[in-house]
Structures are given as structure tokens and as C-alpha cells.
A and B are shown apart, each in its own frame.
Chain A
Amino acid sequence: DARVTQTPRHKVTEMGQEVTMRCQPILGHNTVFWYRQTMMQGLELLAYFRNRAPLDDSGMPKDRFSAEMPDATLATLKIQPSEPRDSAVYFCASGLGSGGPLGTDTQYFGPGTRLTVL
């Protein structure tokens, strides 16, 4: 049963520390998404990649957040330095996007990383 995996599942850190979250997309999927979920803002898109290239990172605070795909099996989201307002659940999702208008849009979500910044 193919699944998106995320590590760590929980992270508690102090303000100013660096946080790295990792995601392993489903093998063969070419699109990876990072979302952030909070009670106040709901589910927000931070960034997404197709074929390891960033397509849209307009939702990501550029001064402290960075997202990369070192290879097709690993996506990372880094926050440096972290702040209390970054406390949220961060979801990774993967999909198989064709780029054409009628391709599949189904996204498969990982279990999330619950980040608490003190």
C-alpha cells in the first residue's frame, strides 16, 4: 500500500532554532506539495514541485522558509529561524500531474508533521 511518509511526526523546538521536515512521496509520483494547516488560516499551500523543479512557492515566507527536492524520493521543508507563529501541522502531498487540462489532480497526503515552536 503506497503512502506518503513524513518525518518527524512531532517536533517541539525553541524560537530561533532550525527545523527540517522531510517527505517521501509515493514512488513514481512527479508532483510534491507542501501545505500548512492552522486553526486560524485553515489549509494553505506553501510550495509545490513537479519533476523536482519548483513551480509555485508564492505561499511561502521566503525570508525563513525554504523547500527543496534533493532527489525524486525526498522533499524537504526547512524553517530557519523558527518562530512561534510557525506552529502548525505541515502536510506533504504527492500526485501524478500530467500538466494537461484533463490529467489527474488527486493528491495523496502524508500524516503531517506537528510543529510547536516555543
Chain B
Amino acid sequence: AQSVAQPEDQVNVAEGNPLTVKCTYSVSGNPYLFWYVQYPNRGLQFLLKYITGDNLVKGSYGFEAEFNKSQTSFHLKKPSALVSDSALYFCAVRKGPNQAGTALIFGKGTTLSVSS
């Protein structure tokens, strides 16, 4: 069964510092991995995805994620955090590995808090 794990419930970073939000995955077949962000009282917004190709994926708002097959990880990163990045971040994996547009399995979420 496909699954993702986000080992940290909360990550605290000072504004201007680099940030990393961790995600590990367990899949059968090729991994199709995603990051979504949720701001308070809002629905989730797509940030980026890894389907195939380069291990470093660039997404919205200056975020990027590094796919590491040997470590089965897909960590979200940003070189310089902003206070406005404070939100709840979800890692996700495609439920049906061989079909696009199938449902996603989401991690528990990591709250990112960026202090000024």
C-alpha cells in the first residue's frame, strides 16, 4: 500500500533562514509524490510534484523538493523562509501508482512556523 510519513508535527524557523519539511514514502512501483500547503481556514493548494526526471523539483512560492530514491524521501525546502510561509504542509503520494488523476494519500501534515 502507498503511504507517506511526515516525522515532524511542527517545524520552527527564523525568517531568512533555510527551511526543510521532511517526508518519507513507501510505495509499490514508481513513486508519484506531491506537496500541498494549507493556510488557515482554506483548502489545500498544490505546491509541486515529482513524477519522473530531475530529482530536484521546483514549485510555487520559491519552494523546491528533493527526491531521494535511496532514502525514500521527498523533503520540501526553501532557501530563505518568509513569515508568510507559515502554514500546514502536506506530503502526498498517488494512491493508484499507474494511473494519473487517482486519489492522493496524504501525510498527517507539518505545521511550519516562521518567526520574524
Interface residues of A (CB under 8 A from B): 4, 30-31, 33, 35, 42-43, 45, 48, 50, 55-56, 91, 93, 95-112
Known contacts A97-B100, A98-B100; A106 and B46 CB within 8 A of each other: yes
B contact residues, total (Cβ < 8 Å): 28
The 0/1 profile, CB within 8 Å of A marked 1, for residues 89-116 of chain B is: 0100011001111111111110000000
Q: Inside 8 A of A43's CB, which chain B residues have their CB?
A: 44, 90, 106, 109
Q: Inside 8 A of A100's CB, which chain B residues have their CB?
A: 99-100
Q: Inside 8 A of B11's CB, which chain A residues have their CB?
A: none
Main secondary structure of the interface of B (DSSP, over half): loop
Q: Inside 8 A of B51's CB, which chain A residues have their CB?
A: 102, 105
Contact A33 B103 (CB under 8 A): yes
Known contacts A42-B109, A45-B105, A105-B34; A99 and B99 CB within 8 A of each other: yes
Contact A111 B101 (CB under 8 A): no
Whole-angstrom distance from the CB of A95 to the nearest CB of chain B?
A: 6
Q: Inside 8 A of A45's CB, which chain B residues have their CB?
A: 95, 103-105
